Structure formats: structure tokens, C-alpha cells
Amino acid sequence: MLPEFVYKIATFEQWDEALEKGTFDGAPVDLDDGYIHFSTTGQVRETATKHFKGQDGLMLVKVATAPMARHYKMETSRGGALFPHLYAKLPVSDAVIWEEIQLQPDGTHHFPDWFEDDESSAA
């Protein structure tokens, strides 16, 4: 079953380009793999730690899955967990909110307050 919302971590530059074009075509890893990688509410912090630790200039983008449901698949990935993948370009109109992820002195990220609320409601 596809979650109602998924999350994408993108650089400022990637998301600014998407806003200008109207679509997010993917980060380099997405383009290499042939689909856009997303994380669920419970996965996005681990994704940030594993792939973006110490990196500044990042946005957390919350995306509604219903508009693009026919192009999304939940597929086995890291540790056997199911991750959402999009086999199409992402219309920015499917993004419901986006905000900077603050880099902390220890190299971890502080997520926006609205994401904290998402985590609480997902538990």
C-alpha cells in the first residue's frame, strides 16, 4: 500500500530548478537509477543520515502520492524495507510543502517543525 505522503531530500539548486521548470526530474542518483527515490515518514531521517550527513543546502519536500499513484511503486531496498519510487517526472504541484533542513554542528540535520508533526501523527 502506498503512503499518502512521501519525502524527497533535494538540494536548493535541484528544487529551485524544479520550481522554474514545473517538474523535478530527479537528482543525479535518480537519473542514474531510472526513478526518483523517496522515503516514507519513518525512513527519511535514516536517508538523511546515510546519504546526506554533513551536507548543507538541503530541502525536505513533502509530496502527495495520489496524483501520481500510477507511476509510484513500493520496492524493496535498504535492509529489505519497501521504499517509494517514482517512475516519472515529479510535477512540483504534487509537493504540498518544502522547507530547508538545518545542518547541525555534529553533521546531522534538524527537520522542520511540520515534519515533527507528521512523525507524531504517523506513530
What is the third-level CATH fold of 5-122? Answer: ADP-ribosylation fold (3.20.170)
C-alpha–C-alpha distance, residues 38 and 30, integer Å? 10
In this prediction, residue 59 carries a pLDDT of 97
| Residue extents of the structural domains in the chain | 5-122
Residue type for position 15 = W
The 3-state secondary structure of 49-117 reads HHHHCCCCCEEEEEEECHHHHHHEEEEECHHHCEEEEECCCEEHHHEEEEEEEEECCCCCEECCHHHHH
pLDDT (tens digit per residue) in 47-96? 999 999 999 999 999 999 999 889 989 999 867 889 999 999 999 999 99
User: Which residue has better confidence, 116 or 105?
Assistant: 105
